[in-house]
Structure 1
Amino acid sequence: MRRCPYDPAPEYARLREEAPVSRISFPGGGTGWLVTRYQDVRAMLADPRFSSRQGTTAPQVRPVPAALPEPPPGALLRLDEPEHRTYRRPVMRAFTVKQVTRLRPRIQRITDDHLDAMERDGGPVDLVAALALPVTSLVICELLGVSYADRGAFQGLAGRLLAVDISPEQSAQDRAALAAFMTDLVAAKRRDPGDDLISALIAEADADPDSPLTDHALTILGALLLIAGHETTANMISLGALTLLDHPDQLAAWRARPELADRAVEELLRYLTIIQFGLARVATEEVTLGGRTIRAGEMVVAALPSANRDPLMGLADPDRLDITRSPAPHLAFGFGPHQCLGQQLARAELQITLGSLFARFPTLRTAVPTAELPFRDDMIIYGLHALPVTW
């Protein structure tokens, strides 16, 4: 468990030193391996002998199923190469640096609109509800062609699906509801295409008889993009804002030098690493990792928060937040073929939203003590359930 809201569990430091690839027991039975050092995590995530097909979500805190069904087409998180690449490649074109650069003015306008509303209404406000969640939701809605009026439905589903203690029955029910939501969206875009990613992918698939992008695959892909496209960045915005407020020297440095935005965001991503329970893979053959022998069929979990605080990653004092340091090749977005495809969009949203927030409200402060804030220890993605602020 975390002892400080910004630091991973202190047990990781001991494991990195004494047992960087260590045995762990999973809830409900079974054992696997936990990988805590930076280089070992990079090696594991890039090694095709570790498969995503039977990898499960947060096995340290959720029961591990005896066996998972075969992943459906388009389920990027559970596909291996080369199948994974066939679905990822057409989607990636919407998330390149060039495409995201074109989106930046729109992200800025959306951010400014919400900051205007905050300024007009006055504080205190919940920064999660007033800025972080609506900005990221609106951006991904416009990108995919989802009606923003439906945000209550998909935000509620995301909140339940990412809860640590969700029951298998509730998970199945919510996944079915999300699939139905996306099925209706794909059907609507087929009838009435728009200037959005789902419509573009439908057109691309129709033009290529060999395309793997069936409507079913687009439903699976779209659901992933919708949930991941707003939840992760929304939590980084609110947690990043709080982190800077609690590190006034770092906030002062960013305010004095706005050109530090790129470095500041990379450092916050590394320092906070909100995918708090890591990434799971299953060995397809015997593999030696970190001096330990992993047998075929064994599950291995990459502890991203630990890897990004590893002294051996080449940073001076990695437990210290320093937005002026040269960006480190952190693993907040994962590594290898499955690294986050929306990372350039997330970077742009963080740079614009945090930079604009602190420029607009120079006296911004939390409205309650940090110790009283509702942190997301109960969720797969770390962050804050609410962040009351005033100015």
Structure 2
Amino acid sequence: MTHTDQTIDEQVPEWTTERAKNDPLAPPPIYAEIQRSDTPIRRVRIWDGSEPWLVTKYQEYRQVASDQRFSADKSRAGFPLKNAGYQSKRRSFLQMDDPEHLPYRRLWARHLSAARMEALRPAIQKIVDDCIDDMIARGGEADLVEDFGIPVPGLILGVLFGIPAADREMFLNLASTMSSSHSTKEDTARAMQELTAYADKLVADREAEPQDDVISHFLEEGVGGGVMTREELVGTVVGLVSAAHDTSTSMILFGTIALLNNPDQLAMIIERSDDAKFIANATEEMFRYIAPTQTGRRRLALEDMEVGGQLIRAGEGVIALDHQSSRDPDMFEDPDRLDLERKEARRHNAFGFGTHQCAGQSLARVEMQVVYSTLYRRLPSIALAMPQEELPYREDTIVYIIDKMPITF
């Protein structure tokens, strides 16, 4: 049945990131209810009182994410912003449409290619092993956030972007301020200002003394080649470094919880830690199962279009959910079950889809493959040191994260 533009005759739900206490890894329960209902595309009320369309199904998600008639430009009137801080007209290349977006995309694709990221595997392996060595040396207890979840991504980004490990906590705290739906416009502006000042210093250092890192290459090819301005490079470093840090930390922490909740899968990943093909597939299943970005892909319809039988008018906002669409039972059998041998695991939407698909996905894949094949093999008796339901989950951020996670091993 094809719907018109009339309002669906159901109460408009409020946007939420609140998870079920008994299943903190699953998306908020209301989104599964909507996905399995007769109207899986319906309006949702967000923070500013507007009511964009919510997309929960897999195929419809991919349509919205890949169709150029859905704009990613947050400066357009009616765009479904994530919070008050996003009212700034300043954009990164992530919020540009093609053809404006394409030169940036090509530059990132070249320097964050699968081959280049694979070449970093030995360095990533050493970082992971060194952090585990430090935990073991201090005894059988640790905070997986402070001692592993934060430093591992920070050190890896240090290799890639030339960011000193000493600055990793600052990046996480400031990025989380920008992510929080409770942050005021002033909070977000302050965090952005501090991050931008630091990124500007990094760029200035590379201008004075180029290195074999992404920032130096972008200065030469991006700024020097006329693809972007120096100011845009600074903004790109801020956006991508903070996003890459938060998502990697989240995948480490929630990946550990997922395995502890599924001891058969934990045993399997320990036993097969040297099976590269299995680890690669298991990592994709972890991305599907966790999909840590909570705010979905935000878009604005540029013309009237039909999505899943629902007419969406030009000028109406759309939020397509990464996490819930990756648990669509029409695409994934028994989608709420963690199955490290799932054949279709790589079809997930955790990295988005289309021209705005995550530029850092190759880095994320190698990073998590190393973490998942190493952490549990070296700490096979890993366990939470506090009840799972009492962990300080941070649900109000763009990337789902935990503030503290004491473990024993």
Task: Give the counterpart letter for 1:133 in structure 2.
Answer: I
Aligned equivalent of 2:245: 230
Distance 1:63 1:206 in 2: 31
CA offsets 1:79-118 (integer angstroms, 9 cap, x no match): 1011111112112222111111100000000111101001
- The farther-off stretch of 287-296 and 102-111 is 287-296
Structure-2-length-normalised TM-score:
0.89
Distance 2:165 2:245 in 1: 12
Aligned equivalent of 1:104: 121
Aligned equivalent of 1:280: 298
Task: Report if aligned partners of 1:250, 1:322 keep a CA contact under 8 Å in 2.
Answer: yes
Aligned equivalent of 2:373: 355
Task: Report if aligned partners of 2:282, 2:341 keep a CA contact under 8 Å in 1.
Answer: yes
Alignment map for 1:162-177 (pairs within 5 Å): 162-177=179-194
Deviation at residue 54 of structure 1 after TM alignment: 2.1
SS of match in other structure, 1:25 = coil
Task: Give the counterpart letter for 1:144 in structure 2.
Answer: F
Task: Report if aligned partners of 1:34, 1:303 keep a CA contact under 8 Å in 2.
Answer: yes
Task: Report if aligned partners of 1:55, 1:280 keep a CA contact under 8 Å in 2.
Answer: no
RMSD over aligned CA atoms reads 1.9
Distance 1:165 1:254 in 2: 38
Aligned equivalent of 1:334: 352
SS of match in other structure, 2:288 = helix
Aligned equivalent of 2:66: 46
Q: Is 1:12 the counterpart of 2:27 in the alignment? A: no
SS of match in other structure, 2:44 = strand
Distance 1:290 1:28 in 2: 26
SS of match in other structure, 2:27 = coil
Match of 1:212 among 209, 222, 227: 227
CA offsets 1:196-251 (integer angstroms, 9 cap, x no match): 1111111224653xx22221111111112211121111111111011101110111
Task: Give the counterpart letter for 1:62 in structure 2.
Answer: N
SS of match in other structure, 2:323 = helix
Distance 2:133 2:75 in 1: 44
Q: Is 1:142 the counterpart of 2:163 in the alignment? A: no
Distance 2:244 2:51 in 1: 32
Q: Is 1:263 the counterpart of 2:285 in the alignment? A: no
Residue identity (%): 38
Match of 1:322 among 335, 339, 342: 339
CA offsets 1:343-365 (integer angstroms, 9 cap, x no match): 11111111111221111111111
Structure-1-length-normalised TM-score:
0.93
Aligned equivalent of 1:25: 45
Q: Which runs of 5+ in 2 are unaligned?
A: 1-17
Match of 1:309 among 327, 331, 337: 327
Distance 2:401 2:80 in 1: 19
Task: Give the counterpart letter for 2:262 in structure 1.
Answer: H
Q: Is 1:128 the counterpart of 2:145 in the alignment? A: yes
Distance 2:105 2:126 in 1: 29
Task: Give the counterpart letter for 2:83 in structure 1.
Answer: R
Task: Give the counterpart letter for 2:101 in structure 1.
Answer: H
Distance 1:296 1:42 in 2: 19
Cα 1:60–1:246 shift into 2, 3 Å:
farther
